[in-house]
């Protein structure tokens, strides 16, 4: 599933391509909004909010999308072949005279009034990569349920927005605790918030697919810190990775 860094990169790419440009083509290929036409409107900005994308256009409208597991937005130059997937997977097309943005396999796509954005993102905690980032609020949210595991608490977007399964494992590695440790038992829990921020910041400008990862997806490889073999297991049905040598706490 795309995480905060990927969504941030997608928003930047879409903003660069569309912001300030008038739409010459607009197609929303979902039944509820199939007749909506944004042609002629100027795109104002594309803003990431956690794992959500908000494309704002003049007239007080926002196109809200979420990538979930395998959704994506691709940007193409005029005449360039579209390579993001089969034609039947296209859910949105936003074209200008210079570029065309195509949304593939988008499980969430809706058009709403910009004034109603809070309806779709108002439940989110502070955005780790957003201007609203507030570490004190994120920490308070996380500590509201001290018996909750670090992994579960980090994935709850109501606590802080942007961490997915990859950065759950990476953040726990950075604070030397297993993802199964109850958050109330973590010494200096503010370190967890700082580590999550650091992990996403370090990767948000790296090209897609080239994340700097310590443990995720590296089961059997030596820990970069202590050389113990990294382990992998499921946590609530999600693949999870940790080092049994330098991360303390319970584990399967």
Query: Which of 27, 48, 49, 51 is the catalytic position?
Result: 51
Count CA atoms within 13 Å of residue 189 on its CB side.
23
Query: Which of 58, 238, 239, 244 is the catalytic position?
Result: 238
Residue 3 is among the residues annotated as catalytic for this protein: yes
Q: How far apart are CA 14 and CA 229, in angstroms?
A: 40
DSSP 206-248: SPTT----SSTT-TTSBPTTT-PBPEEEEETTEEEEE-TTT-B
Give bridge partners of residue 205 from the DSSP assignment: none
**69 Cβ contact list (under 8 Å, min separation 6):** 1, 107
**Structure-block tokens of residue 82:** 């579209």
First and final CA of the chain: distance in angstroms? 24
Q: How far apart are CA 26 and CA 40, in angstroms?
A: 9
Is residue 157 within 8 A of residue 149, CB to CB? The reply is no
**Structure-block tokens of residue 27:** 């197609």
Residue 238 is among the residues annotated as catalytic for this protein: yes
Q: How far apart are CA 26 and CA 39, in angstroms?
A: 5
User: Alpha helix locations (H) across 70-218?
Assistant: 118-121, 135-143, 150-155, 165-174, 190-203
Residue 2 is among the residues annotated as catalytic for this protein: yes
Query: Which of 2, 48, 126, 189 is the catalytic position?
Result: 2
Residues classed as catalytic: 2-3, 51, 238
């Amino acid at each position: 599933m795309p995480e905060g860094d990927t969504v941030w990169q997608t928003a930047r790419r879409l903003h660069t391509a569309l912001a300030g440009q008038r739409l010459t083509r607009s197609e929303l290929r979902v039944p509820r909004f199939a007749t909506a036409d944004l042609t002629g409107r100027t795109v104002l900005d594309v803003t990431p909010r956690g794992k959500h994308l908000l494309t704002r256009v003049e007239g007080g409208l926002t196109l809200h999308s979420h990538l979930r597991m395998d959704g994506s937005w691709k940007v193409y130059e005029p005449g360039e072949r579209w390579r993001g997937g089969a034609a039947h997977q296209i859910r949105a097309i936003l074209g200008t005279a210079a570029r065309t943005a195509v949304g593939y396999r988008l499980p969430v796509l809706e058009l709403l009034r910009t004034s109603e954005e809070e309806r779709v993102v108002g439940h989110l905690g502070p955005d780790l990569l957003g201007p609203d980032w507030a570490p004190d609020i994120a920490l308070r949210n996380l500590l509201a349920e001290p018996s909750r595991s670090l992994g579960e608490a980090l994935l709850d977007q109501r606590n802080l927005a942007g961490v997915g399964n990859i950065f759950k494992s990476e953040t726990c590695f950075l604070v030397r605790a297993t993802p199964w440790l109850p958050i109330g038992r973590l010494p200096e829990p503010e370190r967890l918030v700082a580590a999550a921020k650091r992990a996403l910041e370090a990767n948000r400008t790296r090209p897609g697919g080239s994340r700097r990862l310590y443990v995720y997806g590296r089961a059997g490889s030596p820990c970069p810190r202590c050389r113990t073999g990294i382990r992998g297991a499921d946590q609530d049905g999600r693949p999870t990775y940790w080092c049994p040598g330098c991360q303390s706490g319970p584990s399967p």
